[in-house]
């Protein structure tokens, strides 16, 4: 069975454990990890609500409910977009910014513990490779997941293991 392990399985196991730990680390914010992602995205930015949904890959209707809860908690505020009064801009409040700083520390600690057993260089390499792949896919630069994996393998200097 171990011979059947592949990237998808590995990423799934890693993501599920990241999500579990992130949920614990972000339990104080509405919607946990998703709320944290929104706060993090709003740090230094004031996007339209629709652009925020698109960037995070969240359905616009779902995002509305999550932002409603973040507004009710005093972490986010909505503003009318002066260039289009029909559109809403989202921004962090002061409380949202201070909460984000605390959450970042908690999430970072949970991520470090997730990679226990890896050296600092290994953990940094994994983070860099995953970030590069995600940015490339998100930007639409290369939507071919197999090509992304090949790029990662090239960076590692190893030949892919195929059965």
Statement: residue 125 has pLDDT above 80: yes
The class level of CATH for 2-114 reads mainly alpha
Instruction: Please report the pLDDT score of residue 117 as a whole number.
Output: 86
Q: In which residue are the tokens 């990679």 written? A: 115
Percent of the residues in the chain that have a pLDDT greater than 70, as a whole number = 82
What is the rounded CA–CA span in Å between residue 25 and residue 6? 29
For residue range 74-113, what is the model confidence (pLDDT) as tens digits?
Answer: 999 999 999 998 889 999 999 999 999 999 999 999 988 9
Q: Can you tell me the mean pLDDT for 148-160? A: 51
Residue that wins the pLDDT comparison between 160 and 21 = 21
What pTM does this model have? 0.76
Statement: residue 160 has pLDDT above 80: no
What is the rounded CA–CA span in Å between residue 104 and residue 3? 37
When the pLDDT of each residue in the chain is averaged and rounded to a whole number, the result is 85
Domain ranges of the chain: 2-114, 118-163
What is the rounded CA–CA span in Å between residue 129 and residue 156? 9
In this structure, the number of other CB atoms found within 10 A of the CB of residue 40 comes to 16
- Mapped onto helix, strand or coil, the DSSP state of residue 162 is coil
Residue 18, token pair as written in the block: 């990241």
Instruction: Please report the pLDDT score of residue 150 as a whole number.
Output: 57
Question: Burial code of 54-73, b = ≥16 C-beta within 10 A, e = fewer?
Answer: eeeebeeeebeebbeebbeb
What is the rounded CA–CA span in Å between residue 141 and residue 26? 32
């Amino acid at each position: 069975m171990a011979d059947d392990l592949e990237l998808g399985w590995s990423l799934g196991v890693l993501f599920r454990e990241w999500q579990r730990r992130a949920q614990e680390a972000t339990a104080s914010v509405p919607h946990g990890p998703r709320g944290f992602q929104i706060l993090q995205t709003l740090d230094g930015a004031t996007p339209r609500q629709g652009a925020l949904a698109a960037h995070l890959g969240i359905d616009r209707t779902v995002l509305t409910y999550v932002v409603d809860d973040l507004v009710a908690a005093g972490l986010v505020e909505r503003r009318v977009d002066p260039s289009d009064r029909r559109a809403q801009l989202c921004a962090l409040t002061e409380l949202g910014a201070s909460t984000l700083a605390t959450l970042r520390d908690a999430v970072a600690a949970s991520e470090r513990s997730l990679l226990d057993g890896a050296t600092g260089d290994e953990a940094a390499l994994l983070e860099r490779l995953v970030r590069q792949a995600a940015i490339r896919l998100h930007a639409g630069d290369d939507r071919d997941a197999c090509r992304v994996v090949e790029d990662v393998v090239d960076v590692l200097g190893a030949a892919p293991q195929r059965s």
